[in-house]
Amino acid sequence: MHDVVNNALTGAPPEPEVRLDFARRRRIGMDEAIYCASKSPAQLAAILDAAEARGVGLLLTRLEPSMVAGLPDARRQRLDYDPVSRTGVFGPAGVPQGAPRVAIVTAGSSDVPVAREVARTLRYHGHDSRLFADVGVAGLWRLMACIEAIAAHKVVIVAAGLDGALPSVVAGQVPGAVIAVPTSVGYGVAAGGQAALNAVLASCAPGLTVVNIDNGYGAACAALRVLRALDAVASPASAPARSGLADLPPPTSGDIP
């Protein structure tokens, strides 16, 4: 607020509220996602305007229906919105090719919104996935009936709330990378996902990767890093080179590398 007041007194233009990272794909191979919670409709509309001006797509997360309703009609009509995962895709996105290399496993159907955020993030970046829902440890036969199909994937993302046991069980059964997403599902001492988070952090399954509570987007990004590393090993010549910071264009108010 001090800067805004000072700029008003000196006549200097106000600092922008939004600084989009359009160079992120060149650096790390994936786009910046727009976390929409707490943003105003005006801020979100300005972000979409900037993306359209550059002809690029955007993935939006934690996008509530009320915020979608507050967008200008022209922007809302171009938005591929999924209310279950609260994600939106604006403009061009990746086109999946080949068989899915990522399995998404949920303990219960209540974990599906997180799973959908994973799937939508992967698809935006050009990767399909396969969902195995409602295979929690209370009925272990459900998991074991499809464990071979799950194990065929290079990366397995497991979403579970309550006691958070499923990721450890899966990680003890499959050879690929396993990423746990503790979810906020559960009663009482489940504590909004804290019990599941502590369980997967304390897991005895070796190499289990853990992201934050309900962070399907983060789990998908971890999977994308694994897939990029696998692709680079399989075909070094075709792997995209990483641009160093010195190679990036100078920052502007709308393009901060």
Q: Is the pTM of this model over 0.75?
A: yes
C-alpha–C-alpha distance, residues 257 and 253, integer Å: 11
What angle (nearest 5°) sits at the alpha carbon of residue 49, between those of residues 43 and 52? Answer: 145
C-alpha–C-alpha distance, residues 41 and 198, integer Å: 36
Architecture of domain 102-236: 3-Layer(aba) Sandwich (3.40)
78-133 residue pLDDT tens: 889 999 999 999 988 888 888 999 999 999 999 999 999 999 999 999 999 999 99
Six-digit token string for 214? 């309900």
Average pLDDT over residues 184-205: 95
- Alpha helices of 101-190 — where are they, by DSSP H? 112-124, 140-144, 147-151, 166-171
Contacts of 177 (CB under 8 A, 6+ apart): 154, 155, 156, 207, 209, 223, 226
Q: How high is the pLDDT of residue 13?
A: 59
Domain ranges of the chain: 31-93, 102-236
